[in-house]
């Protein structure tokens, strides 16, 4: 994506070999590009959400393995790195998927050959993510085109939750990719951006990227979506996912389930955009089987922003000592999902729909 006319990925390798990321904790107020130079830094960057978003977490972990292989390519180092990075965040399946991809390549190799192979596979994982997300955009564009046609070319209003955009991936985004393709296709489109408490990925990241790309949008509080749907102001909901099960249950940022319920109640199509590494073929019942990350209550009792004098700071919004729960994700049952927008096409959120789209993957346990 472009920032002030310059193209960026959210993670990349410099010509001299250093891995760099955009530290998303400071967006939209400050664009901080930082190097990740050792395994510990990669682990902190994922756990503390310097980088976040299922596909980007996977791509970052892949590079974390490569950097560690350059430092110590031994079997013990490889095994330890898998465990350290896999434990950083429990919900997004892309993290384990990427680590498994790295292990597939590296375990059979002699230690001397591991670093080069690791960087090659990590780079391929990033490139594959970009292409999958571009394809998701083209496939999702058909949905938006159809709505635009049915509205006689009038504005298509899309609601999205959290940030499943460019900063959640290596590039393009998943939920935002169809939106960008619609803009390029000349379709009149507007986005309602859920702020997405408690970390405000919508307010801080989705608003920022849509603004950078010149996409019409309104920031809304999380609780406004149902009202807008009731009043016919939302034509389509598109969200991302951190893990989708073999039968189409969708785990995503907390609050997604409530949007899906409101969409169902108001007859609004509810689509989920996902690259296939986000499908966990080993689980069926998302509510019962997907581990939901519980983050610090401080994310609920405090909020970060920019002060009038330009400082980025965190302020307390509840009484000192107020206890808080902070489940970071929820699961939307497949029956609330209109369809899944994948890199191969759009399929029903069903066991059969996913198996037909991915016959080479389905059935893995």
Ligand X SMILES: CSC[C@H]1O[C@H](OP(=O)(O)O)[C@H](O)[C@@H]1O
Binding to ligand X by CB under 6 A, coded x per residue (else -) over 314-333, reads --------------x-----
Site for ligand X (CB under 6 A): which residue of 22, 95, 98, 162? 162
Would you call 242 a catalytic residue per the annotation? yes
**9 lies in the binding site for ligand X (CB under 6 A):** no
Which listed range, 26-34, 104-112, 140-148, 162-170, lies at the site for ligand X (CB under 6 A)?
162-170
Q: Annotation-wise, does 252 bind a ligand? A: yes
**169 lies in the binding site for ligand X (CB under 6 A):** yes
- Bridge pairing between strands 156-160 and 236-239: parallel
Q: What CA–CA distance (Å, rounded) separates 137 from 155?
A: 18
Site for ligand X (CB under 6 A): which residue of 10, 68, 148, 174? 174
Measured from the CB of residue 246, what is the shortest distance to ligand X in angstroms?
18
Site for ligand X (CB under 6 A): which residue of 164, 187, 250, 283? 164
On the question of a cis peptide bond just before residue 115, with omega within 30 degrees of 0, the verdict is no
Which among 222, 235, 242, 249 is annotated as catalytic?
242
Nearer to ligand X, 73 or 167 (CB): 167
Site for ligand X in 42-61 (CB under 6 A): 52-55
Reduced to 3 states, what is the DSSP secondary structure of residue 350?
Answer: coil
**252 lies in the binding site for ligand X (CB under 6 A):** yes
Nearer to ligand X, 115 or 205 (CB): 205
CA-based Rg of the chain, rounded to a whole angstrom? 20
Nearer to ligand X, 78 or 272 (CB): 272
Site for ligand X (CB under 6 A): which residue of 93, 105, 143, 168? 168
Binding-site residues for substrate sit at: 52-54, 89, 201, 252-253
Residues that are catalytic: 242
């Amino acid at each position: 994506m472009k920032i002030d006319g310059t193209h960026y990925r959210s993670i990349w390798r410099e010509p001299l070999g250093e891995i760099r990321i955009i530290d998303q904790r400071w967006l939209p107020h400050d664009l901080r590009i930082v190097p990740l130079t050792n395994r510990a830094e990669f682990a902190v960057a994922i756990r503390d959400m310097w980088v976040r978003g299922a596909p980007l977490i996977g791509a970052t972990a892949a590079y974390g393995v490569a950097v560690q292989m350059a430092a110590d390519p031994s079997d013990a180092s490889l095994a330890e790195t898998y465990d350290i990075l896999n434990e950083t965040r429990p919900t997004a399946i892309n993290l384990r998927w990427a680590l498994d991809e790295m292990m597939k390549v590296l375990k059979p190799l002699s230690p001397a050959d591991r670093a080069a192979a690791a960087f090659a596979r990590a780079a391929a994982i990033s490139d594959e993510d970009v292409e999958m997300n571009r394809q998701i955009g083209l496939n999702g564009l058909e949905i938006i085109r159809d709505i635009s046609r049915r509205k006689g070319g009038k504005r298509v209003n899309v609601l999205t939750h959290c940030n499943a955009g460019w900063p959640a991936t290596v590039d393009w985004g998943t939920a935002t990719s169809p939106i960008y393709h619609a803009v390029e296709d000349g379709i009149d489109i507007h986005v309602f951006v859920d702020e997405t408490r408690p970390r405000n990925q919508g307010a801080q990241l989705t608003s920022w990227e849509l603004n950078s790309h010149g996409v019409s949008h309104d920031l809304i509080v999380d609780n406004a979506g149902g009202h807008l749907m009731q009043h016919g102001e939302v034509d389509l909901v598109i969200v991302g996912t951190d893990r989708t099960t073999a039968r189409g249950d969708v785990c995503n940022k907390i609050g997604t389930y409530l949007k899906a319920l409101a969409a169902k109640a108001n007859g609004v199509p509810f689509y989920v955009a996902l690259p296939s590494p986000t499908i966990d073929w080993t689980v069926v019942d998302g509510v019962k089987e997907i581990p939901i990350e519980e983050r610090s209550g401080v994310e609920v009792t405090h909020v970060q922003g920019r002060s009038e004098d330009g400082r980025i700071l965190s302020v307390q919004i509840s009484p000192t000592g107020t206890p808080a729960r902070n489940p970071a994700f929820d699961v939307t049952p497949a029956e609330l999902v209109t369809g899944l927008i994948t890199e191969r096409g759009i399929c029903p959120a069903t066991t059969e729909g996913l198996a037909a789209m991915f016959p080479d993957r389905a059935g893995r346990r």
